[in-house]
Structure 1
Amino acid sequence: MQHRVFSLIVFLTLPGLRSYGQCVVSQDAQNRVITTCRYYDAKGGFLMNRPDRSQAITQVTYLGSEYLTYPVWQNGTVESGASEKPIPCKIAFNIATNVIKCLFEGDETIYEVQPDAFTVNDMRFISRVSEKGGKTSRAYYLVLYAGKTRVLKQFRCTLSRTKKEAYASDEPFEGTFRQQKTYFIQRNNEKLRVVNLSRKSVLGVLDDQARRLDQYITQRKLDVYQLVDAVAYYDGFQ
C-alpha cells in the first residue's frame, strides 16, 4: 500500500533533534501520522552539513508530528490589528514552537506569521504576548467559551524518545510526538489560571461563587463540556 505523503517539508525544531535536517509529515500504511526526517551524519567526527565531506544520510521516523492537525495544512483565516477582516489562507500550526505558517491563494511562498488571532477547522485561537528577560513571545490558546469569563485550551508538543534494546530492533519509531493539553480560566481579562478537569479545581479558581458551584457541580471528575457548562453557570452571577 502506497503511503500518503504530505507535501510540507519542515526543518527540525524540537530540542534533541539533529540540526541541518528536514522532515516530511505523512501517513503510513496503518493510517498513523508519522514524521520522517533525513539528515547528514558525519562518519568520522563532527561536520557542519557538508556534503562535500564524508557524510552519510541518516533517516529516522517518529510517530505523530509537531503539528496540530493532519493534513498539516488546513483552510483557515488569520486576524491582526491592521486588517479590517479575517484574511483567508491555509494554516500549519506547529504546537511545539507556537509558529504559524500561512499559504495565501495565488502565492507559493510559505510565510511565518504572528497573528493576533486565527481560525482553523472552526476552532478559534487567540494570542497572548508575554515578556521574559527582555524578550517577547506569543502563545496561542483555543477558545472553548467566551462569555464574561473565558475558558481556554493550550496545546503543547514534546518528543519522547524510544529506548531501544538490542532484542527490540524491530521498533519502527525513534520516538513519539506527544501532545499536552492545558486548560485555563480567565476572569475579567485578568491573569490566566490553570484549571484541571475536576470539581475541586473549578471551585478553587472560581472561589467567589464556590457555594453556588458546589451545589451545581455534582461530579468529581469533569469533561470539557461540563467545565464549560460550569463556567457558563458561573457567568450568570457576574
Structure 2
Amino acid sequence: MRLILLLCMLSMPYLTCRGQIFVYQEKDGNVFTSVDDYSPGMTSTYTRTTYMGSPFLTFPVWQPGKIRLDMEGRTVDCQLAYNLNTNEVLCRFDGDSAIKTVTPEFFSINNTEYVRQQNKLAGMDYRMYFSTVHSGPTKLLKSLSNQLTYMNSAEQVNMRHYKDLNLRGIYRTVTKYFVQKENAEPTLISFSRKSLLDVLADQSEALADKIPNRELTTSDVINILNYYDLRVAEARQNRAHLSKEEVFREILQNKINYPGWVGNQGIYGRVYAGFDVDSLGLVRNVVILSPDNMGFGFTFEVKRALETLSNIDPHFRGAYALPIAFTFTNSKENSGPHIPTNRLPEDRYQNRTLLEEVTIPFVVAKSSVVPREVWGYYK
C-alpha cells in the first residue's frame, strides 16, 4: 500500500522532505513502514528508512468503511485509511483511484464508529475522533493517536534480525480515555480513583466507597459510571419535586408581575430562567436562558422575582431551568388564551433540571387589540 505524504507529518525530528511510504507485513506478522526519501538540492539524494509499526489504524491500511461529512448528511460507503499520527481520514471511492483527505463528522471502520467532537488541549480547541466504549447518559469514550519514537534497548534486541532494514524508530499507539456527561465536552481521565472522583465531583461523596484505590480496569470504570448515572437520576427525580412545591409556585406567581402596558397591547411571550439552589436553600446564579433581548420587561420581572425569592428547602439543592409563560386573553375574542409557542432548545438548559412551567396570565376586554408573541434572538 503506497501513499505520498509529507514526511514532516510523521512527527520525527528532521524528516522534512517529500517521499513515499510503504506499509507492509512480514511473515512473522510484524508490520513495518518504509519511507523512500527524495531530498532536493544541487544533487538529489535517495534514502530508505524503515520504522516498526504503522501510522495507520489498521493493516491492511485500506478498509471498507462509511463516512458522513456532517451530522445531517447521508452516510457514504468508501475505502478508508485512518492516520492516527496526523488524525486524518483518507478516503477512496469506488471507481476513483484518487485519494481524498476528508474531515467527516462520523466514520466507521471494522464496525467501530468514530465521532468528531470538540475538545480543548493546551488551551486551544481541537476536533478529535472518539469511539464509544460505554454508552449511557455518562459515556466512556476512547481516543487513539500515534507517535513515532525511538526504539528502546529491548526492542532493538528483539528486532536485531531485521538490522538490514535500518530501523530508525517505532510507531506507538497511544490510547486515551474520556468521560462525557450527556452532551458536555469530553473530559480526559486516567483509570485512577482520584481522576474519577474529580470528574464525577457532583456525586463524589456517594462514589467514594465504590471506587477501589488501585489502577482501575475498563469494567471498573463502566460500573462506576453506571452507578453515577443511577445516583444522578435519583437526585434529579427528587429535585424535580420542586415543581410540585406549591409554596414555591405560589410565591413565584405572586412575585412576577405582567407589565400592564405590555398586556394592554396584546403582547405575550415565554421566558426561561436558570438558577441554583445551594446547600442552605438560597437561590443563586439567576440567569436568563432564553433570549434576554426580547424586551417589554418580561425578563426583568422574572429575574427580579427569583433574586428576591425567600429560602427554599435545602433538600431541593441543584441547578434548574424554569419556563415562565406570560399568556394573554382577550375576553372579546372566542379563541381563548394566547399561549406562547417558542421553546428553548434542550442544549441550552446547560444540564439543568427542567421544572414545570409557571403561568402568569393577563386578561383584557378590548376589541381593537392584535395579539403578538415576542421572543428575541440569540446574540
Bin of the TM-score, shorter chain as denominator length: 0.7 to 0.9
Cα offset, 1:136, TM superposition: 7.3
Q: Report the Cα distance in structure 1 between the residues aligned to 2:120 and 2:177, rounded to whole angstroms.
A: 21
**Rg (Cα) greater in structure:** 2
| TM-score (normalizing by structure 2) | 0.52
Q: Is the deviation greater in 32-41 or in 219-228?
A: 219-228
Task: State the 1:95 CA deviation.
Answer: 1.0
Residue identity matched to 1:20: R
Instruction: Give the match's secondary structure for 2:225.
Output: helix
**Aligned to 2:176, which of 178, 182, 188?**
182
Provide the residue aligned with 1:36 in structure 2. Answer: 34
User: Residue 211 of structure 1: CA displacement?
Assistant: 2.8
Q: Tell me, which stretches of 5 or more residues in structure 2 are unaligned?
A: 233-379
Matched, 1:14 2:1: no
- Matches of 2:174 and 2:119, distance apart in 1: 20
More strand by share: 1
Query: Measured at CA, do residues 81 and 41 of structure 1 come closer, stay the same or move farther in structure 2, by a change above 3 Å?
Result: closer
* SS of alignment partner, residue 236 of structure 1: helix
Name the residue aligned to 2:88. 99
Question: What letter corresponds to residue 60 of structure 1 in structure 2?
Answer: T
Corresponding residue for residue 3 of structure 1: none
Determine the structure 2 residue equivalent to 1:122.
111
CA distance in 2, matches of 1:27, 1:97: 22
Deviation at 1:176, TM superposition (A): 0.7
- Report the alpha carbon displacement of residue 217 of structure 1 after superposing the two structures with TM: 3.0
C-alpha displacement of 1:128: 2.0
Q: Please tell me whether the aligned partners of residues 19 and 35 of structure 2 are also in contact (alpha carbons under 8 angstroms).
A: yes
1: CA distance between counterparts of 2:54 and 2:78? Answer: 21
Q: Could you tell me which residue of structure 2 aligns to residue 4 of structure 1?
A: none
1:197 equivalent in alignment to 2:191: yes
1:192 to partner: Cα distance:
2.3
Q: CA shift at 1:137, angstroms? A: 4.9
Distance 2:63 2:189 in 1: 29
Residue of 54, 58, 73 corresponding to 1:69: 58
One-letter amino acid matched to 1:198? S
Q: Could you report, residue by residue, the CA deviation over 1:73-99 in whole angstroms, capped at 9, with x for unpaired residues?
A: 122111233754321112111111111
TM-score by length of 1: 0.80
What secondary structure is seen at the aligned counterpart in 2 of 1:237?
Answer: helix
Relative distance call for 1:159 and 1:214 in structure 2 (3 A) is same
Is 1:10–1:24's contact at 8 Å kept on the other side of the alignment? no
Alpha-carbon deviations, 1:15-59, whole Å to 9, x = none? 3224211111111232111100111246xxxx1xxxxx5333211
Q: Which residue number corresponds to residue 209 of structure 2?
A: 215
- Tell me what 2:230 maps to: 236
The equivalent residue for 2:75 is: 86
Deviates more, 1:206-215 or 1:168-177: 168-177
Structure number having the greater helix percentage: 2
Equivalenced residue count is 219
For 1:39, the aligned partner's letter is D
Residue 157 of structure 1 aligns with which residue? 146
Question: Hey, what's the Cα distance between the residues in 1 that align with 2:199 and 2:48?
Answer: 47
Higher RCO (CA 8 Å, separation ≥ 6 residues): 1
Percent identity of paired positions between Structure 1 and Structure 2: 30
Question: C-alpha distance in 1, partners of 2:100/2:175?
Answer: 26
Does the 8 A contact of 2:117 with 2:129 survive in 1?
yes
Deviation at residue 156 of structure 1 after TM alignment: 1.5
Is the Cα–Cα contact under 8 Å of residues 160 and 176 in structure 1 kept in the other structure? yes
> What secondary structure does 1:212 align onto?
helix
Q: Displacement, 1:189?
A: 2.2
Assess if the C-alpha contact under 8 Å between 2:85 and 2:146 holds in 1: yes
Structure 2: distance between partners of 1:130 and 1:198? 21
Following the alignment from structure 1 to structure 2, what is the Cα–Cα distance between the partners of residues 202 and 85? 37
